[in-house]
Structure 1
Amino acid sequence: MTASTSLVRATLAASLCLLPLQSGLAKEAKESRPGVYRGYSEERFSEWQKTSQYVAMSDGVKLAVDIYRPAVDGRAVDEKFPVVWIHTPYRRAYTDAKGNLVNPLEQLNLMPLLDHGYVLAAVDTRGRGASFGARRGFQDRTEARDAYEMTEWFASQPWSTGAIGVAGCSYLGGTTWHAATVMSPHLKAIAPGCTDFDKYGFVSRGGTTAQFNTRPENPGQDYGQGVVPVASDTDGKLAAAAIAEHVKGTPMAELWAGMRYRDDVSPQLGVPFWRESSVATYAKEIERSGVGIFIWGNWLDEGSFEATLAYNNLSNPRKLWMGEWGHCIVGDFPMATEMLRFFDHFLKKIDNGWQREPPIYYRTINAPAGQEWSSTDRWPLANARNKTLHLAGGASPGIAGQLTTKRIGSAVANDKFVVNYDPKCSEKVDLYFLMWPCVVDKHGLSYATPPLTSDTHIAGHPVADLWISADQNDVDLFVYLEDITPSGDVSIVTHGRLRASHRGEQRPPYRDFMGLPYHRGERGDAQPLVPGTPARMRLDLLPTSTIVKAGHRLRLTVAGSDPRQRSRNVKFDPPPTISIHSDREHASQLMLPIVGEFSEEVRGE
């Protein structure tokens, strides 16, 4: 272990809130709660030993594996430990452009587990990194079966207790879920972060495939350039041979683009792939597996709805953690501590109170200092009440209409805009992998409240209930709920999207869809617009827990495109004209889940 590694591990250990025991002093008092863990788990080790090798799957394809074991004086300890592993398509270890070695286990806050008596492992998925084969499809059943075989392989090793956990975020969160769908007998716990539960509902939310999933393949990240070969591959020839096989895999963007509807058969794979790749398809298998589940995510991330959906539709011992940050970011929260608490409970059977705590722990954006975190036993919150705000009309591109609790509909009122397919972000951002939309001013139509007279807590899933018409038989709607400061700065609180032809509502296939409109998105559900005729579109925005400060205004912006749309097949030609109706017969409105009071009246009036 190098000096730089020692420094990293010292920093991570500090985040664990675990005080070293001093000779002659009594053991510290036990304490276990989110982010805090003392007195339950002994920090026995300060070194680790890494090995790497290939492991052959039942069909002969070899996967590259890195294994980290606790060590003393440079040698791996001859004991059995629980194993926590990750299944990554982004290289289990690689050298970045500056020549630095990147270890995804460190990025995922897992390395401190070694100090507490765990074995860690990282596996390149089939067709990625230094593993052989070609990826048939994004998180297909082949990848899930590989996860089964790797889990059982780890359980059979002489240094393993047979208690296995899987963790990961983003794509790795998905591989974590899929590892549980195949019911490996030795898999006891999973920790999926910032990922999806319903694949179609995530990638093609509202029928619009317009997110990061449309990005082109990246030669480094996706095919394996820069990956560290396994130890026996001293000249890198095996890794090079593996990478040569990767280009035969199914390109992600083309895969999604070939299936516009949920029940479409993939032209590349010849199967209804949305169903195959969706974790929700295998919910009963996950429940039968009995694995403990720690679901974590963030409000400012595309996967926020999927985290709440998964939590509400599984019966396993489980928790939901929601932070206020972006994709796979944990901010100042000591996630290493939480991973240790979770895996200690399920892999070491330590009674640290994990299951006796409230199952949901979430952070509120803009909360007063010291009041950011809250616990609850259900989501949406039992004390949230819907407040209806009406779009009062009078909007035009660059000029906001009214968003008010008072309905001010005239006999005939509609606002129009022409869709701009080249919207620009107000700030400089990298659109290649943008997981949260950027603010685009003077784009579409906006409706704003007067300054709020008191802090307003929005907690739950806002729903936009809009009446629209267009001069074509289909359009996309992108809806943003924004917070405007007194100085005019704008931030996006939450957002949603829906293609007009997907506006039909069907019965959800879930035990609990949280009372939200469900748009199944099958080919037979399509309802083209009649040009010029108003149609109702109800769409839920991603969940949030955000306090909008007194003096700020809320703004609802409706557009027909988003800067993150790369897939040009979503363009309608010519750009359509969209009307938003707010007359007496067609009341466009916004339902906000509010905890406490809401007041839109201007101070002093």
Structure 2
Amino acid sequence: MPRLLAFLFAFALFLPGTALAQPADFGAYKPAPQFEEAETTSLYVPMRDGVRIAVSVHRPARGGKAVEGRFPVIWHNTLAIDPAGVGEPRPGLAELTRHGYVVAVVARRGNGASFGVRRGYEDFTEHYDAYEMTEWLARQPWSNGRAGMYGCSNTGEAVMHALTMRPPSLKAAWAGCFSLDRYDGHLRGSVIAQFGTGPARTVEQDMQTTPVQGDEAKVLLRQAAEEHQASTNLFELMRTSPYRDSFSPLVMSRFWYEVSVGVKLDMVRQSGVPLYIQGGWLDDFRTQGFVTLANLPGQARMLIGPWRHCRFDGFDILSEQLRFFDHHLKGIDTGIADDPPVHYWRYDGRGGGSWQTASQWPLPQARPQAIRLAAKTFKVEPEPTCPPDPQATGPAAGAFAVPCHPSHGAAYTQPPLKADLTLVGHPVADLWISADQPEANLFVYLEEVAPDGTVTVLAEGRQRASLRKLHDPPWNNLGLPWRRSWREDEQPLTPGEPVQVTFDLLAVAHTVPKGHRIQVAVTGSDPRERARPGAAAKATIRIDPRSTVTLPVL
């Protein structure tokens, strides 16, 4: 018995927080750290084809030396072993070393200090790399064989793709601001708008990233950077693949299917890996998070706050990540198992808001309320602009900007509200339109107008009119309209002939105060739009009075 007690005590030393951690509420899990230092090393790990992948490893340390023992590993499949070098927002995940985790940061092939060529951005090649890397990390002498993953934005999608490969050592995953279906996420409504199309870096830019240890002269880094120049031009790949079934000679595949997690949902379910989805109400991928949640019942949970893309201002995200990983990687009762699967921030319309919970989404108590749009005609503004966005910072500021109220198009302003109106769910636009061109891009904005005239965009949606044909979705799409968007589904407009174009706006959770107004704006262009068809830029659009926008009223 004494030997057993001694073993249990020694084991507890390598499960930091086991003795101190207590079940806690959402966002309030704060066990005392057991380590104050971390030791960082970096190296190359060869993949099955010999391509060397750069990895930095952060281990718990004391007295300047890594602690002996085996720990769970959490890894980030990103663009460089020093993510700050490429401007990618992320929390201080290495802080988890203080709570008894090894944290690994991996540069995907064709990026940062890693060798290889980026063929198509999270293609099958990168999926296999994720499997190999997970299992390599699990076999190291400092690993206890249990791995977790973290990622947000393109690295959140990297997490989701790793799940489709079902690496046996992967036991928990945190993914933020990603697209379940790459076509619906990046070409929402078959329109390229808002987000960047991925990295396109020069040799000189790559040379600014951190090399692996032993390559301080950056000889290997330069070799890797020069290899990267053969990578696929991602904007060109998207621009020349306007349909979901487009075959791209740049990658020799139907790219949207190859890189979409949605078509591999069965593999994610079979993995059984618990998933925590992070979203933001000011993020273009927020509906994609809700669709993912709906398709992984009992496996996924979600939080969505009043944040921009991969931001979490004013919220201790590291606390919630630790609560999640401690439960699934260490078996600690952190209280998360008793939580409802959804935590969402609901704006109060007065500059504040509060956290709410839900056991399912959409909320069953939400009821549809339609706004009817009167007949109006407008000419498309070919070069719309937005005021500078002071909160969008960094090299990708334009890609992550939130939509602005359009000064062109048609606006439908409702009377002042006689009582507060709470909207939670997914607005849907059902437009009847005609145009004098064979193509039109349609944008709809749901807005709040304050008594002083200030306009706040609550949600927006977009749809290319020629790809309006609806189909049954291949997954649970929350009852929202879905289009297959194959080449054969294209239906050019006949000038002057009205057609029905139905599409959802991004999800919303907002209380519009008494005395404020609801406003719907409809345009044919948006400042974030890219690669707009020429005919769509010249169109004059008429809104038919059969048109409505339906709101989810709580």
TM-score (norm 2): 0.92
Separation (CA, whole Å) in 2 of partners of 1:171 and 1:77:
32
1:579 partnered with 2:542: yes
Q: 1:356 aligns with which of 338, 344, 348?
A: 338
Which residue of structure 1 aligns with residue 426 of structure 2? 461
1:346 partnered with 2:328: yes
Separation (CA, whole Å) in 1 of partners of 2:59 and 2:537:
60
Where does 1:486-565 land on structure 2 (aligned, <5 Å)?
A: 486-510=451-475, 512-565=476-529
- Please state whether the residue corresponding to 1:253 is helix, strand or coil: helix
Residues 290 and 316 in structure 1, CA contact (< 8 A), matched pair in contact too? no
Residues 322 and 363 in structure 1, CA contact (< 8 A), matched pair in contact too? yes
Q: Which amino acid aligns with 1:388?
A: A
Cα deviation code 1:364-383 (max 9, x no counterpart): 12367996001111111111
Question: Could you tell me how far 1:94 is from its partner in structure 2?
Answer: 6.3
Separation (CA, whole Å) in 2 of partners of 1:390 and 1:51:
62
Residues 166 and 191 in structure 1, CA contact (< 8 A), matched pair in contact too? yes
Which residue of structure 2 aligns with residue 13 of structure 1? none
Question: Could you tell me how far 1:427 is from its partner in structure 2?
Answer: 3.9
Q: 2:194 aligns with which of 204, 208, 211?
A: 211
Q: Which amino acid aligns with 2:485?
A: G
CA gap 1:265/1:441 in 2 versus in 1, 3 angstroms: closer
| CA RMSD of superposed structures (Å) | 2.2
Where does 1:183-262 land on structure 2 (aligned, <5 Å)?
A: 183-214=166-197, 217-219=200-202, 224-262=206-244
Identical positions, percent = 41
Separation (CA, whole Å) in 2 of partners of 1:533 and 1:448:
27
Q: 2:57 aligns with which of 49, 58, 67?
A: 67
Q: Which amino acid aligns with 2:309?
A: H
Cα deviation code 1:423-450 (max 9, x no counterpart): 1113456685333443244311111111
- Please state whether the residue corresponding to 1:458 is helix, strand or coil: strand
Question: Could you tell me how far 1:103 is from its partner in structure 2?
Answer: 9.5
Which residue of structure 2 aligns with residue 323 of structure 1? 305
1:416 partnered with 2:399: no
Which residue of structure 2 aligns with residue 30 of structure 1? 22
Separation (CA, whole Å) in 2 of partners of 1:215 and 1:158:
35
- Please state whether the residue corresponding to 1:68 is helix, strand or coil: strand
Residues 80 and 158 in structure 1, CA contact (< 8 A), matched pair in contact too? yes
Question: Could you tell me how far 1:220 is from its partner in structure 2?
Answer: 7.8
Structure 1 residue runs of 5 or longer lacking an equivalent are 1-19, 22-26, 97-101, 394-413, 596-605
Separation (CA, whole Å) in 1 of partners of 2:49 and 2:184:
32
- Please state whether the residue corresponding to 1:483 is helix, strand or coil: strand
Which residue of structure 2 aligns with residue 120 of structure 1? 103
Which residue of structure 1 aligns with residue 264 of structure 2? 282
- Please state whether the residue corresponding to 2:518 is helix, strand or coil: strand
Separation (CA, whole Å) in 2 of partners of 1:147 and 1:316:
24
Residues 203 and 229 in structure 2, CA contact (< 8 A), matched pair in contact too? no
1:168 partnered with 2:151: yes
CA gap 1:28/1:53 in 2 versus in 1, 3 angstroms: closer
CA gap 1:445/1:509 in 2 versus in 1, 3 angstroms: same
Q: Which amino acid aligns with 1:236?
A: K
Cα deviation code 1:8-63 (max 9, x no counterpart): xxxxxxxxxxxx99xxxxx878341210115xx55210000000000000100001
1:78 partnered with 2:37: no
Separation (CA, whole Å) in 1 of partners of 2:271 and 2:102:
22
Separation (CA, whole Å) in 2 of partners of 1:103 and 1:492:
27
Separation (CA, whole Å) in 1 of partners of 2:422 and 2:333:
36
1:592 partnered with 2:551: yes
- Please state whether the residue corresponding to 2:207 is helix, strand or coil: coil
- Point out the more displaced range, 209-218 or 358-367: 209-218
CA gap 1:437/1:336 in 2 versus in 1, 3 angstroms: closer
CA gap 1:513/1:458 in 2 versus in 1, 3 angstroms: same
Q: Which amino acid aligns with 1:546?
A: H
Residues 426 and 438 in structure 1, CA contact (< 8 A), matched pair in contact too? no
- Please state whether the residue corresponding to 1:423 is helix, strand or coil: coil
Separation (CA, whole Å) in 2 of partners of 1:147 and 1:286:
14
- Please state whether the residue corresponding to 2:530 is helix, strand or coil: coil
Separation (CA, whole Å) in 2 of partners of 1:275 and 1:198:
8
- Please state whether the residue corresponding to 2:347 is helix, strand or coil: coil
Which residue of structure 1 aligns with residue 530 of structure 2? 566
Separation (CA, whole Å) in 2 of partners of 1:159 and 1:28:
23
Separation (CA, whole Å) in 1 of partners of 2:328 and 2:48:
29
- Please state whether the residue corresponding to 1:32 is helix, strand or coil: coil
- Please state whether the residue corresponding to 2:196 is helix, strand or coil: helix
CA gap 1:461/1:157 in 2 versus in 1, 3 angstroms: same
Aligned residues: 534
Residues 478 and 560 in structure 1, CA contact (< 8 A), matched pair in contact too? yes
- Please state whether the residue corresponding to 1:213 is helix, strand or coil: coil
Structure 2 residue runs of 5 or longer lacking an equivalent are 1-15
Q: Which amino acid aligns with 1:190?
A: A
Separation (CA, whole Å) in 2 of partners of 1:589 and 1:158:
62
Separation (CA, whole Å) in 2 of partners of 1:290 and 1:384:
31
Question: Could you tell me how far 1:215 is from its partner in structure 2?
Answer: 7.2
- Point out the more displaced range, 451-460 or 337-346: 451-460
Separation (CA, whole Å) in 2 of partners of 1:57 and 1:29:
38
Cα deviation code 1:156-185 (max 9, x no counterpart): 000000100110110111111111111101
CA gap 1:316/1:251 in 2 versus in 1, 3 angstroms: farther
Question: Could you tell me how far 1:211 is from its partner in structure 2?
Answer: 2.8
- Please state whether the residue corresponding to 1:572 is helix, strand or coil: helix
Question: Could you tell me how far 1:258 is from its partner in structure 2?
Answer: 1.3
Residues 380 and 541 in structure 2, CA contact (< 8 A), matched pair in contact too? yes
CA gap 1:355/1:139 in 2 versus in 1, 3 angstroms: same
